[in-house]
Amino acid sequence: MKFKVNNNEVFASTGGRPFDKKKPLIIFVHGSGLTHMTWVLQTRYFAFHGYNALAVDLPGHGLSSGESLKSIEEMADWVNDVIDAVGHKEASLVGHSQGCLVTVECTSRYPEKIKTLSLMGGAGAIPMNPELLSLAENNDPKAVDLMMDWAHGPAGHFGGHPVPGLYHINTGTMLAKSRTIQNTLGVDFRACDNYKNGFDAAKKIKCPTLSILATDDKMCPVKEGKKLASLIDGSQVDIIDNCGHMMLLEEADRVLTVLKKFITTNYPPLSS
Amino acid sequence: MSDKKKELKPNTYKFDTLSLHAGYQPHKNAGSRQVPIYQTTSYLFDDVDHAAALFNLERGGHIYSRISNPTVGVLEERVASLEGGTAALATSSGMSAIFLTIMTLCEAGDHLVVSSQLYGGTVNLFRLTLPKFGIQCTFVKPRDTEGFKKAIQKNTKGIFGELVGNPGNEIMNMPEIAKIAHDAGIPLMVDATYQTPYLCKPFEHGADIVIHSLTKWMAGHGSSMAGILVEGGKFDWMQNDKFPTMTKPYEGYHGLSFAEEFGPTAFTMKARAEGMRDFGPCLSPQNAWNVLQGIETLSVRMKKHCSNAEEMVKYLSNHESVAWVSHPSVPDHPDHELAKKLLPNGRGSMIAFGIKGGKDAGVAFINNVKLASHLANVGDTRTLVIHPASGTHSQMDEATLKFAGLSHDMIRLSVGIEDIDDIKNDFEIGFRAARKPRLVSNQ
């Protein structure tokens, strides 16, 4: 569906179901340089089971218009604006990678609105490799290739996508190259590198929180994810073996199973 | 020790490694090093919720082997990885891959622009069968790049061609034709069977969908029928209103918009969810496994195919019984320069040559070679020959033969990977036999 936030058109996948204001809202926030399509193996389930699943394209990404937002704080405020724009008073947030920084910051800023927080491949800070950052800011496609290499675990490099016939390294590459790299990945990487408030923001979070981490995640290693989770009262942690940073594709079924249990328990769906 | 900073390089697997490993993780398959053959029709559901989720594309997995199968899935991922594509869908043959591609793209009332130099079966599909579904086609000579542009109509939904034409070895100027297609907001579909991704990756030159008859060089051993369509993932189905079945809610899946939900894999998802469900040209797991064995040695075989082909081009070009030789490696081939650009790893192993003495000589040659196999296939490890005017195209009249780029003296040769001296010796037997009727007629 399309709607306006701050006069810019926003695209969000609704998981194949029409948006229904009566249903509780889950907002999925993608990682650096990516789009709503990274969530396809999670959103459709929730959309068909009593929720409004909204996988947004951040401004300037995917099918959303406008320019990319330059800081994690701006993105956090923008997520709050999305909740207002679709006419809801509250939401459950799900983030991946950079999306974790955004949703942590958003939850700390708007605690009354955010009912649950699910973090995948999250950390309190994501400092960027300077050379990778430079490549992305200079529109070099090698930045995408490096990101896809590091983002997939050793097993993920062989493929084995849960959806038959899909080869996820190439799919991720295509998503990250679908818009001008320096305007998406370059801006996002800089925003991640600049963001320093993650650990303080985490300390303010009181809603039920889940962290899904992966043993072969090079971009946000398990120890960094655990460090962030340790600062959030009562945070649950689930660790997936033999999986990299792109857990939502590499181990989509496992992620969905854990996410489903956590969200339906803490933020029940509208019963049919 | 050098102080020089090490340059960052992606360590994703390269072609030869992907040929052996892509799409398969042994630790998820009881540690089996070889890809298992999942000889089953159907798959247990965990519970009712799981079943509903699979049927509704809410989660990945297998339901019924007409739609997907784990062994076939490995093949699909492997070919997608080798082509640089986002997704692939394997079918029972190359022809079914083409049919499924067209039926996923088009509806009754649509139009396609098609290269005229195609495998005969493909010509019949476009010329005779698709019109029965209300899909019309305009044929354009593959070298007539501007002709592709002129043939595009308001209802044109795509351009289709073989990268290297059959049997005349004409090469489509893929980058230019891709630009024409994209300027018109339509995709370019390329049958790259003759090249395999080892010789050419059409997505790097602008193609949007790549099709293979895997029966040929990919499988390579003449044992199994198979086809595949591969999606490049760059084509924007939402850029215009030409593709409502990709962009509008689809009743068959609760109002799903394939383009919105699946983006760079939308075409393959639709081809599987709709096309495989409704038409059912699925690949058997045994054949998928056989093709996988072939792909493991693809680059090794293609190098030998190409080096043998270039040897045969030299041999034939200097032979007294040969009137002409057509192969993109020949400097005076009209597409020689284009071939160097599009086929940097080798120009393929298909050769057409004219035998002196015309049709009678061609028949004598075919009837007398012993090592080369006379049959209707290409891309076997073994050397194959056929004389189209007396065999595959014998029902064509003179004008139709000419339009198809054929002549009475043409022999089509698919060079195998036997010892090159043995192939040449065999051809000497054929040429000697071919000269005899001429000697008789000259007396």
pLDDT tier, A272 (very low <50, low <70, confident <90, very high otherwise): low
Closest-CA distance, A254 to chain B, in angstroms, reads 10
Cα B249 from Cα B265, distance rounded (Å): 17
Q: Which of B59, B238, B261 sits opposite A162 (nearest CB)?
A: B59
* Domains observed in chain A: 2-266 (3.40.50.1820)
Contact B60 A35 (CB under 8 A): no
Predicted pLDDT of residue B288: 98
Helix (H) or strand (E) holding B441: helix B420-442
CA neighbours within 13 Å on the CB side: how many for B194? 30
Q: Which of A18, A44, A161 sits opposite B58 (nearest CB)?
A: A44
Contact A256 B81 (CB under 8 A): no
Q: Kindly list the strands in the beta sheet with A91-96, ordered across the sheet, starting from the edge strand earlier in the chain.
A: A2-5, A8-13, A52-56, A25-29, A91-96, A114-120, A209-214, A236-240
| Rounded-to-10 torsion of CA A175, B162, B297, A157 | 0
Best of B57, B91, B265, B268 to disrupt the A interface by mutation (most A CBs within 10 Å)? Answer: B265
Cα B104 from Cα B279, distance rounded (Å): 11
Check: CATH 3.40.640.10 for B15-294?
Answer: yes
Nearest CA in chain A to B259: A37
Cα B355 from Cα A38, distance rounded (Å): 57
Q: Which of B9, B21, B80 sits opposite A170 (nearest CB)?
A: B80
Residue count of chain B: 443
Q: Are A237 and A134 in contact (CB under 8 A)?
A: no
Determine the average pLDDT of the residues in A202-225.
97
Higher pLDDT: B254 or A137? It is: A137
Nearest to B116 by CA among B99, B141, B95: B141
Chain B residues within 8 A of A178 when measuring between CB atoms: 263-264
Nearest to B329 by CA among B305, B321, B337: B337
CA distances from B249 to B53, B114, B252, B330, B414 (A): 19, 29, 9, 51, 46
Predicted pLDDT of residue B388: 86
Q: Which of B70, B254, B265 sits opposite A16 (nearest CB)?
A: B254
| Residue A160 at interface with chain B, using a CB cutoff of 8 Å | yes
The token pair that represents A225 in the structure block: 């994810």
Predicted pLDDT of residue B439: 54
Nearest to A178 by CA among A97, A13, A63, A70: A63
Q: What is the pLDDT along chain B (443 residues), one digit of tens a residue?
A: 455 667 889 989 999 999 999 999 998 999 999 999 999 999 999 999 999 999 888 889 999 999 999 999 999 999 999 999 999 999 999 999 999 999 999 999 999 999 998 888 899 999 999 999 999 999 999 999 999 999 999 999 999 999 998 778 899 999 999 999 999 999 999 999 999 999 999 999 999 999 999 999 999 999 999 999 999 999 999 999 999 999 998 888 878 889 988 999 999 999 999 999 999 999 999 999 999 999 999 999 999 999 999 999 999 999 999 999 999 999 999 999 999 999 999 999 999 999 999 999 999 999 999 999 999 899 999 999 999 888 777 777 777 777 777 889 999 999 999 999 999 999 999 999 999 855 554 43
* Pairing state between β B188-191 and B156-162: parallel
The token pair that represents A123 in the structure block: 């950390």
Residue count of chain A: 272
Predicted pLDDT of residue B443: 38
Domain ranges of chain B: 15-294, 299-442
User: Which of 41-80 (A) contact B at CB < 8 A?
Assistant: 41, 44-45, 48, 62-63
- Phi, psi (rounded to 5 degrees) for A172: -60, -40
Q: How many CB pairs under 8 A join A and B?
A: 150
Nearest to B107 by CA among B165, B154, B167, B156: B156
Nearest to B21 by CA among B5, B35, B41: B35
Q: Which residues of A211-231 are buried (b: 16+ CB within 10 A; e: fewer)?
A: bbbbebbebbbbebbebbbeb
Nearest CA in chain B to A150: B10
| Residue A18 at interface with chain B, using a CB cutoff of 8 Å | yes
Predicted pLDDT of residue B400: 74
Q: Which of A48, A145, A174 sits opposite B56 (nearest CB)?
A: A48
Question: Does the fold of domain B299-442 match that of domain B15-294?
Answer: no
* Residue type, position B229, single letter: L
Per DSSP, which regions of A144-257 are E strands? 209-214, 236-240
Cα B316 from Cα B313, distance rounded (Å): 5
Nearest CA in chain A to B251: A16
Closest-CA distance, A222 to chain B, in angstroms, reads 22
- On the question of a cis peptide bond just before residue A18, with omega within 30 degrees of 0, the verdict is no
Chain B residues within 8 A of A175 when measuring between CB atoms: 263-264
Q: Are B230 and B303 in contact (CB under 8 A)?
A: no
* Residue type, position B294, single letter: G
The token pair that represents B325 in the structure block: 């030789």
* Pairing state between β A236-240 and A209-214: parallel
Q: Which fold has domain B299-442?
A: Aspartate Aminotransferase, domain 1 (3.90.1150)
| Residue A256 at interface with chain B, using a CB cutoff of 8 Å | yes
- On the question of a cis peptide bond just before residue B437, with omega within 30 degrees of 0, the verdict is no
Closest-CA distance, B145 to chain A, in angstroms, reads 28
Predicted pLDDT of residue B203: 98
* Residue type, position A12, single letter: A
Nearest to B414 by CA among B228, B216, B224, B225: B216
Cα B122 from Cα B282, distance rounded (Å): 19
In degrees, to the nearest 5, what angle opens at C-alpha A57 toward C-alphas A56 and A58? 105
Q: Cβ neighbours of residue B251 under 8 Å, at least 6 residues apart?
A: none
* Pairing state between β B111-115 and B87-91: unpaired
* Residue type, position B104, single letter: T
